[in-house]
Amino acid sequence: MASIALPRDVASGIIVRGFATAQRAMVVVGAALTAVASTVAVLARGGEPLALVPVLAALAVMGVLALRLLLRPTAARATVFLAVGAVASVVYTVALLTADARLDEPGPSLVNRAAAGLVLVGALRGSARSGVLWTAAGLVLAELSLVVGFALAGRPPETGVAPLLGAIIVLLAYGALVLSHARARRRVPDLDRLQRELELGDRERELERRAARVAHDTVLADLAIIAARPGPLDPGARARLERDLALALAGTVALDTAEPSEPRRSPIADDLLELVREYQWSGVTVDVSGCDDLVVAVDEPVRAAVLGAARAALDNVVRHAATDRAELVVGERHGTLSVLIVDDGVGFSSTSVDADRLGVRSSIDARVREVGGSARVWSGEEGTTVMLSVPIGGDGTPS
């Protein structure tokens, strides 16, 4: 079928990433403001200035970890942020209570502000569902760090209201995004099925028009010949009737019942699916769309170029994108085969790529240009998209 699906859930992913970015920025700013507030509170109450050193050190660690996660949000960095951040929260709580025991009042107080930052870890990969999971993990570690911190400071274990309130707000936001996304997906029709039905309807109508022309040009004329000749038909008239009958049979509106309801998938579609299966143990899940509708045949040079370039693009996702999900979309239109490899990783700038890095130029661009195609690359903070476009070659008929 002549169609190419656009990468899915782009708008939803942008909203989730923007919200997660705002959360991490709040942790960075909050760590700086909490450092100032802690210093003022301890000194104003006559606390020991040296007691502020572990407090400020713990806040600095959390701020740096949040900044690293903000610049490059990966699962590894999020895990480090929660694990080390929980330890930093314990240090902060113990040090602050040691500096001034009067700061241990429960609720959204100065004591549990470090722990509250853990629930703002944010979503990964533009997925609201991952935001729910990471926030829940942050809440558990935040409350646990407060319990441990109060116990080490010789105080009755307490949990904080600030982490709980923050987690509730964040979870409600991500939950709303999950529900809106699910509803939007239910409203979207099956465009591929609708297009197949339209194409089948167009084919039937064309056959009907063809049969009508045949009936008008041959059958009616033949009936007129038979009516005008009461005796036996001469060999010339008989030959014409046989020829017209054969033409009428060729123009029938009946669909070939021996033909399968769906055309057989193109071999290159199977090759691309096999290529994707090779990456199942790489740590990157590759979603595929469009292969089942690809029914065109391609020349061997085109096949080799497309598979080689697609493999190089997926290798780049595994090695450099710092994401665990990508998408491969394939389609054909007007004699051109197009393959998109999309990821939501960290992206890159073409000006910052070293001269000896030949992955895009040699493994991707040069391959498709050798068979008359082209390769385009878009990359930024929202990820990277590689689009391969190659002429089908050969007769382009379904195999």
pLDDT per residue over 236-254, tens digit each? 666 766 776 666 665 554 5
Dihedral sign computed on CA atoms, order 308, 313, 318, 323: negative
Residue 167's alpha-carbon distances to 16, 35, 116, 233, 364, in angstroms, are 16, 22, 8, 93, 44
User: pLDDT tier at 185 (50, 70, 90 boundaries)?
Assistant: low
Residue type, 384: T
For the four alpha carbons of 19, 21, 22 and 24, in that order, the dihedral sign comes to positive
Q: What are the CB-based long-range contacts (under 8 Å, 24+) for 33-42? A: 34/59, 34/110, 34/113, 34/114, 35/59, 35/60, 37/110, 37/113, 38/96, 38/110, 41/100, 41/103, 41/110, 42/96, 42/99, 42/100
pLDDT (average), residues 298-312: 89
- pLDDT given for residue 339 in this prediction: 92
Average pLDDT of the residues in 211-217 = 63
When pLDDT is averaged across residues 179-203 and rounded to a whole number, the result is 66
What per-residue confidence (pLDDT) applies to 91? 93
Q: Which amino acid is at 140?
A: V
**pLDDT at 134 exceeding the cut of 60:** yes
Please check the confidence at residue 257 and state whether its pLDDT lies above 70: no
How confident is the prediction for the chain on average, in pLDDT?
A: 78
Question: What are the pLDDT digits (tens) for 342-366?
Answer: 998 888 765 555 544 445 666 788 8
What residues contact residue 133 under an 8 Å CB cut-off, 6+ apart? none
- Domains of the chain, with CATH numbers? 10-187 (no CATH), 193-250 (no CATH), 267-391 (3.30.565.10)
The answer to whether residue 219 scores a pLDDT higher than 70 is no
Q: What is the mean pLDDT of residues 11-28?
A: 86
Q: pLDDT > 70: what percent of the chain? A: 72
Rounded to 10 deg, the angle between the 75-99 and 10-44 helix axes is 20
Nearest to 252 by CA among 295, 219, 224, 226: 219
The SS3 assignment for 251 reads coil
Looking at residue 78, its pLDDT comes to: 92
pLDDT for residue 50: 81
Q: Is the pTM of this model over 0.85?
A: no
Confidence label for 129 from pLDDT (cuts 50, 70 and 90): confident
Per-residue model confidence as pLDDT tens digits over 158-180: 888 889 999 999 999 998 888 87
Residues 315-337 have a mean pLDDT of 87
